[in-house]
Structure 1
Amino acid sequence: MTAARPPLVLASASPRRLDLLARIGVVPDRVLPTDIDETPRKEELPRQLAARLAASKAAAAVALEPEALVLAADTVVGLGRRILGKPADAAEARRFLTLLSGRRHHVYTGVALRAPDGTLRTRLVDTALAFQRLTEAQVEDFVASGEWQGVAGGYQIQKRAEVFVRFLSGSHSNVVGLPLFETAQLLRGVGWLRP
C-alpha cells in the first residue's frame, strides 16, 4: 500500500501556467495566487529576481496550505542587467518593444516546489531570444492589440509576438511562463508524477 500523494497547489494566478501544466497531464488540486511584493531589490539581476520570487510565492502559499505540495513560478524578462516587468501602460509597452527590437534578451523562469516536509526544490531556466528589427508600424500595431497587458516584457510568444522571434535557444514553454521539462522533473522527483 502506498501513501496518498499530497494535494498539489499551484501558487499562481496565471492562466498560461494552468494551460501548460494541462499539456503534461497535471491538474492542480487548488490554485492559490499569492500576493507578494515583486519589486526588484537594488542591484538585483533578472535571474536572481525570478528565483527569489518563485521561492517567495511558494513560501507564501505553504503558509496557507502546509499539508500540500506547492508549485510556484515567476518569469522575468531581462535585457542585460535591466528587468523588463509588466508594462504599466501603452507607452511603457512601446518602450519595451523598442528596446527589444533587433536585440537578444533572456527570459528567466524560477520554479519552486515545496513539499509538506519543508523540502524546497528549485530550478532556474534561461531561454535566449532575439527579436527582428521592428518597424514603427509593427510596434504601433502590436501595442494597439493590447497583448502586452499583464505580461513580463510586454509580449506573449504564443500569440502575435511569435512572428518577431528570429532566434530562440532553450525552452519555448519557459517563455510562455513555465518550463515543462524542468517542472515535470521536479514533480517526478517527489513522486507526484510517474517516471
Structure 2
Amino acid sequence: MTKPGPFQNRTPIVLASGSPRRRELLSDLGLTFDVHPSPLDEPSPEPGETPAAYVLRMAELKTLDVATRFRGATVIGADTAVVLGERIMGKPRSRLDALDMLTALSGATHQVVTGFCVVLPDGRTLSEAVSTDVDMRTSTEGELMSYIETGEPMDKAGAYAIQGVGTFLVTAIRGSYTNVVGLPVARVLEVLLASGIITPGRG
C-alpha cells in the first residue's frame, strides 16, 4: 500500500497494528508497508503502573511478537490510552461503558498517551511514550448517547475519535494531534530517519 508522499523506506516495513488510522498516517508519508497485527490479548495495567509505562509495555509486547516473524524488516507498533487523573481508559466494553467514559471526560482535560515501539532490522528496539492534553466540551447525556449510537466510540480508546464524528467533543489540544489519532508521527519519523530506515524523496 503506497501513495505519493515526502518519504520512502529503505527496508521493508511491517505495521504491527490493525488500526486504519495508523495505516493512513504511515501511508500519508509515502511509505510502503505490510500490515500484520499481533493476536496477543492486552493485559490490564498493573497496580501502580503509570500510563506511559503501560502503553509502552503494550506497544513493545505487540511489536516484539510480530517482529519474531519478520526478521530483517522494520516493525512498528503502538498502543494508545486515554488518561483522566489516575484512570486509564482503553476501548469500551459496552455502550454503557462508553457512556461512563464520555461522561467522565465531559468538561474536563485529559491526556492521550501513545507508546510506540520500533524494532529495527538488526534487532534493536526503540520505544517512547508521547502525551497530548485534550480539553473536552461539556456535553449532555443525550448528546453522548446519540454519539454512541453512531457506533464510532466502540473501538476507540476513551470512546471517542478526534478525527471522526467525535471531533465535536474536543475544544482544544496541546501537543501532537496525530498522537491523539493513534501515532505521534513527528517522533516516529525522527526515529526512522535517524536510524536510516527512511529517506526524504522518491528518487
TM-score scaled to structure 1, two decimals?
0.93
Give the Cα separation in 2 of the matches to 1:144 and 1:58. Answer: 33
Are residues 1:146 and 2:151 paired? yes
Q: 2:90 aligned to 85, 93, 97, which one?
A: 85
Q: For residue 14 of structure 1, what is the aligned residue in structure 2?
A: 19
Q: For residue 98 of structure 1, what is the aligned residue in structure 2?
A: 103
Q: 1:124 aligned to 124, 129, 134, which one?
A: 129
Give the deviation of 1:149 after TM superposition. 1.3
Give the Cα separation in 2 of the matches to 1:45 and 1:36. Answer: 21
Give the deviation of 1:36 after TM superposition. 2.2
Give aligned pairs, total: 191
Q: Secondary structure at the match of 2:114?
A: strand
Are residues 1:108 and 2:108 paired? no
Give the deviation of 1:51 after TM superposition. 1.0
Identity of aligned residues (%): 38
Which consecutive aligned stretches of 4+ in structure 1 deviate over 6 angstroms post-superposition? none
Indicate the RMSD between aligned Cα atoms, in angstroms. Answer: 1.4
Q: How does 1:63-74 map to 2 (within 5 A)?
A: 63-74=68-79
Q: Deviations over 1:154-194 (max 9, x none)?
A: 11000121111112100111111111101111111111221
Give the Cα separation in 2 of the matches to 1:157 and 1:179. Answer: 14
* Contact persistence 1:18–1:27 (CA under 8 A): no
Give the Cα separation in 2 of the matches to 1:47 and 1:175. Answer: 14
Letter in 1 for 2:25: L
Q: 2:42 aligned to 34, 38, 50, which one?
A: 38
TM-score scaled to structure 2, two decimals?
0.89
Q: Deviations over 1:31-80 (max 9, x none)?
A: 11002231222222222111111111121011111221111111111111
Letter in 2 for 1:15: P
Assess, with a 3 A threshold, how the Cα gap between structure 1 residues 179 and 80 changes in structure 2: closer, same or farther: same
Letter in 2 for 1:64: R
Q: Secondary structure at the match of 2:68?
A: helix
Q: Secondary structure at the match of 1:72?
A: strand
Give the Cα separation in 2 of the matches to 1:34 and 1:41. Answer: 21
Q: Unpaired runs of 5+ in structure 1?
A: none
Q: Deviations over 1:68-101 (max 9, x none)?
A: 1111111111111111110011100000000000
Q: For residue 186 of structure 2, what is the aligned residue in structure 1?
A: 181
Give the Cα separation in 2 of the matches to 1:59 and 1:144. Answer: 36
Give the deviation of 1:123 after TM superposition. 2.1
Letter in 1 for 2:122: D
Q: Unpaired runs of 5+ in structure 2?
A: 1-8
Give the Cα separation in 1 of the matches to 2:160 and 2:32. Answer: 26
